[in-house]
Structure 1
Amino acid sequence: MSVESIDNQALAFAALAQCAKLANDVARQGVIDNDLWQVCVSSLVCTNPNSVMDIYAPASDLASGLDTLIKQLSDSGEGRSIEITKYIAGIVSLSRKLMRNDNAMAVMSQRIDQVKRQLHHFTINDDAVISNFASIYSDIVSPLGAKINVTGTPTHLQQLLNQKKIRTLLLAGVRAAILWQQVGGKRRHLFFSRKAYVNSAKQQLTQF
């Protein structure tokens, strides 16, 4: 899939930013917005999209991600989070390594198909489904590159379910990062097209 435009790239990057922000929320606060969680995680089982909007529709579901994009990429730096920046960079790096590894991609596809079958009996918020997503990240994606060290409040990070939610969100972030690259996003755009991304995100937010 490749529908290259700044708006599509900004929307896909907003999905990545939303995943990174939610991972940070779980790590620091131990809580997560259920609707935003579902938007991110549901993307993992949308495996044959024709467009960005096939995965993230309505686009208003990514309002939090668009807002995070603006904060992370604006020249002012107001509201920027060092942790979210770190997670985004790590996720993009892992996604690039995953895309170059045909075997890992094939195994991940098989594991995602297993989860899709599991969803005939469970909801996407079920602990068993979250565990499977988390194990896909731990088994297949994380070993491909530098480990993403998530920092936060120890009491929240020590909870097993929170650990699994964070890994699931990182996996969803990798999915969004792959999508971002499929619609033409490149790491250099985060430097040279920052203003265009921010302007697109602001414009898209006014349409909700």
Structure 2
Amino acid sequence: MAKNYYDITLALAGICQSAHLVQQLAHQGHCAGEALDTSLKSVIDLNPPSTLAVFGNDESNLRPGLEALLGMLNSSSRRGAGAELTRYTLSLMVLERKLSASKTALNTLAERIAQLDRQLAHYDLNSDTLLGAMAAIYVDVISPLGPRIQVTGSPAVLQNSQIQSKVRATLLAGIRAAVLWHQVGGGRLQLMFSRNRLAREAKQMLSRMSGPSL
């Protein structure tokens, strides 16, 4: 069966967007608010009608992720920000495979996310309560699957408990995107053998965002 590279690229951009946001949070203590909202909202929608619907039905919601994906596909650097982004992205993929292999973890995850949905009736998505709840899901359900993702950045920033919660909530969103990536036919081999195809899809989406030249 032919792969749907549009959906695969969208989901992969979702993983890269989470990785990019984790980088921003860990180094600067803040990140792009709209991109974070897109990623966090994706965690709660477990029965979307389409891949794009997971990310708010708008390609432009994934602009940072698509740009990060292109940077990762075009980079041969083993050091610096590009290498860090690649490490986070690949680590999320590894954790997702371990999650998918554990029926217990999957059931617990579904139950905990259903609770989140109920809390959304009373709290804002970006509230400390919701971010704390998402972070707790990551710590309780995902982290024990191992290996743990070592987040690097400013030690002063990473000591802040609110930043820690945001980072873990964002990693949970990365796991959500990685689950979606596998559901639509994504696999690690594509990163080795289909880089040009993925890059072409990402460029096409970004070119649609920039609009027509005047």
Percent identity of paired positions between Structure 1 and Structure 2: 38
TM superposition shift of 1:34 = 1.0
1:199: which partner in 2?
A: 200
Q: For residue 72 of structure 2, what is the amino acid of its counterpart?
A: Q
1 CA distance for matches of 2:48 and 2:96? Answer: 18
Give 1:50 shift: 2.6
- The ranges of structure 1 where at least 4 consecutive aligned residues each deviate by more than 3 angstroms after the TM superposition are none
Match of 2:58 in 1: 58
Question: 1 CA distance for matches of 2:112 and 2:103?
Answer: 14
The 1:68–1:163 alpha-carbon spacing in structure 2 relative to 1, beyond 3 Å, is same
C-alpha separation in 1, matches of 2:97 and 2:43: 17
After TM superposition, the structure 1 stretch with the greater mean CA deviation from structure 2, 18-27 or 66-75, is 66-75
Q: CA deviation at 1:183?
A: 0.5
Q: Give runs of aligned pairs for residues 132-143 of structure 1, distance below 5 A.
A: 132-143=133-144
Figure out how many residues of one structure are paired with residues of the other and give that number.
205
- The one-letter code of the counterpart of 1:45 is I
Q: TM-score if structure 2 supplies the norm length?
A: 0.93
| Local SS of the residue matching 1:25 | helix
Q: What is the rounded CA distance, in whole Å, between the counterparts of 2:153 and 2:69 in structure 1?
A: 21
SS in 1 for 2:188: coil
CA deviation string 1:49-107 (max 9, x = no partner): 13101211211100110000000012666x96111111111100000110111111011
Equivalent pair of 2:92/2:171 in contact (CA under 8 Å): yes
Q: Which runs of 5+ in 2 are unaligned?
A: 210-214
Residue 117 of structure 2 aligns with an amino acid whose one-letter code is K
TM-aligned CA deviation for residue 33 of structure 1: 1.3
* Runs of 5+ unmatched residues, structure 1: none
SS at match of 1:71: helix
- Answer yes or no: is the 8 Å Cα contact 2:95–2:145 preserved in 1: yes
RMSD: 1.4
TM-score, scaled to structure 1: 0.95
Any conservation in 2 of the 1:98–1:144 contact (CA below 8 Å)? yes
Distance in 2 between residues matched to 1:21 and 1:106, nearest whole Å: 28
Are the equivalent residues in 2 in contact too, given 1:14–1:69 (CA < 8 A)? Answer: yes
Q: Distance in 2 between matches of 1:119 and 1:6?
A: 33
The answer to whether the 8 A contact 1:26-1:166 is kept is yes
Counterpart in 2 of 1:158? 159
Determine the structure 2 residue equivalent to 1:175: 176
Question: Could you tell me whether the CA contact under 8 Å between 2:75 and 2:82 is conserved in 1?
Answer: no
Q: Is the 8 A contact 1:25 1:32 kept in 2?
A: yes
